[in-house]
Amino acid sequence: MGVMLTSPLLRQVDTLPERLTSIKPDELHTIFPQPTLMHLPGRIEQPLFISVLQHGNESTGFLAVQALLNKYMERDLPRSISIFFSNVLAAKEGLRRLDHQPDYNRIWPGTEAPAGPETIMTQQVVDEMVRRRVFASIDIHNNTGLNPHYGCVNRLDPRYLQLANIFSRLVVYFIRPKGVQSAAFAQLCPAVTLECGKPGQAHGVEHALEYLDTCLHLITISEQPAASRNIDLFHTVAQVTIPDSVSFSFEEKPVDFRLVNDLDYMNFTEIPAETVIGSVRDHSKIPLLACHETGDDVTSDYFEVNDDGELVLKKNIMPSMLTLDERVIRQDCLCYIMERIDVSL
């Protein structure tokens, strides 16, 4: 196996390790002890870039790539591929990230995170894919709440929307958070993020595999606008977080903020004003922070505490990524707020 170390964290390989097609995600570190970019040749030289395990507990992308590699074990790949196996140490532990690590999907060029070994690593991945004239980029994720499968883009470009629409009629456009892989690659080529539901679901792996195989067979990506009848396009306008200073739980316990325990059923549903999100200890404070994509604090536009000490919505919203996983909420966010937009824009 040809191996090249290109930074303290990143290494690159140009052959397929035999065990890669059969091991479990938590065993990947035994083959790739650090983030690894693997290049395999195909009939079309310009490569498809695939990123998996940016969050170590999101296994669907890895399993879909495994299935893809097994499918083409005895025949040529239709197109060259470059696969980035990202946070292999977090995958070993089955965690989104380790406590001492940054979020690996917040450290790509354009990040607001401080410079460090991880930001050097992602810049080198980008530089290598520029050199290889990357065709398109696919970053595969899971989420912890109840969400449909959908695609995300960072540019309202017909090619990007077409690439996402191949995966799902549900497409989300966002520009925050900064430092995500798809936004960095959106400067180079059509780039999408796939959200494949919860990890451990066979249909998520099958859907991602089918999509990857389809993309390998694309000669070009259509520049025609996506038909409005075939796509539901949403714009993420705000990210909702719980400040570190606020204690919270979904259980009956003495905390600053107790959330209702079925929040994730609200994902991709229009939730009416006055809907109760939880109850608060201090009636004078809103225990959430809603940050607009511009960076402005818009908390009071969306939330208020009523006379009964309940946190309620001030207006209708459509959330995504609501989760009941308290660790994920601390490490990332409670949810995103979306608005429907016209696909012709």
CATH number, domain with residue 76: 3.40.630.10
Choose between 166 and 2: higher pLDDT.
Answer: 166
Dihedral, CA of residue 125, residue 128, residue 130 and residue 135, to nearest 10: -80
Query: Which pLDDT does position 229 carry in this prediction?
Result: 87
Residues 112 and 176 in one domain: yes
What is the per-residue pLDDT across 170-217, written as a single tens digit (0 to 9) for each?
Answer: 999 999 999 999 999 999 999 999 999 999 999 999 999 999 999 999
Q: Determine, yes or no, domain membership for 345.
A: no
> Virtual CA dihedral for 44, 45, 46, 50, nearest 10 degrees?
90
Confidence band for 132, pLDDT divided at 50, 70 and 90: very high
Give the sign of the dihedral formed by CA 241, CA 244, CA 250, CA 256: negative
Domain that holds residue 60: 3-230
Claim to verify: residue 124 and residue 245 sit in the same structural domain: no
| pLDDT at 345 exceeding the cut of 60 | no
- pLDDT of 305 higher than 90: yes
Last residue of a domain, one of 196, 213, 230: 230
Q: Is residue 157 part of a domain?
A: yes
Query: Count of domains in the chain?
Result: 2
**Among residues 230, 255, 287, which one ends one of the domains?**
230
Kind of pairing between the strands at 232-241 and 289-292: antiparallel
The secondary element (H helix, E strand) that includes residue 117 is helix 117-131
Looking at the fold, whether 140 and 205 belong to one and the same domain comes out as yes
Flag whether pLDDT at 150 surpasses 80. Answer: yes
From CA 91, how far away is CA 87, in angstroms rounded? 6
Task: Please check whether residues 54 and 165 belong to one and the same domain.
Answer: yes
At 196 the three-state DSSP class reads: coil
* 258/296 same-domain check: yes
Q: CA 331, CA 314: separation in Å to the nearest integer?
A: 26
**216 and 108 in one domain?**
yes
Instruction: Quickly state the pLDDT bin for 5 (edges 50, 70, 90).
Output: low
Together in a domain, 44 and 173? yes
Q: Exposure of 109 by Cβ count < 10 A (0-12 exposed, 13-18 middle, 19+ buried)?
A: middle
Per-residue model confidence (pLDDT) at position 120: 96
Same domain, 65 and 126: yes
Q: Above pLDDT 90, what percent of the chain?
A: 94
Segment 2-23 mean pLDDT = 86
pLDDT at 8 > cutoff 80: no
3-state helix, strand, coil in the chain (%, to 5): 25, 25, 45
For residue 325 the two structure tokens come to 């996983």
216 and 310 both lie in a single domain = no
Q: Does 104 share its domain with 171?
A: yes
Average confidence score pLDDT of the chain: 95
What does pTM read for this prediction?
A: 0.92
Residues 6+ apart with CB under 8 A from 294: none
Same domain for 241 and 166: no
Give burial (CB, 10 Å; 0-12/13-18/19+) of 167.
buried
In a domain, 343, yes or no: no
Task: Judge if 191 and 282 occupy the same domain.
Answer: no
Convert the pLDDT of each residue in 54-75 to its tens digit: 999 999 999 999 999 999 999 9
pLDDT at 2: 63
Of 200, 230, 260, which residue is a domain's last? 230
Q: How far apart are CA 312 and CA 208, in angstroms?
A: 37
Judge whether 90 and 97 are in contact, CB under 8 Å: yes
* pLDDT at residue number 162: 97
Alpha carbon dihedral 27, 50, 203, 24, in 10-degree steps, equals -10
Q: Output phi, psi for 170, to 5 deg.
A: -85, 120
Determine contact, residues 76/44, Cβ cutoff 8 Å: no
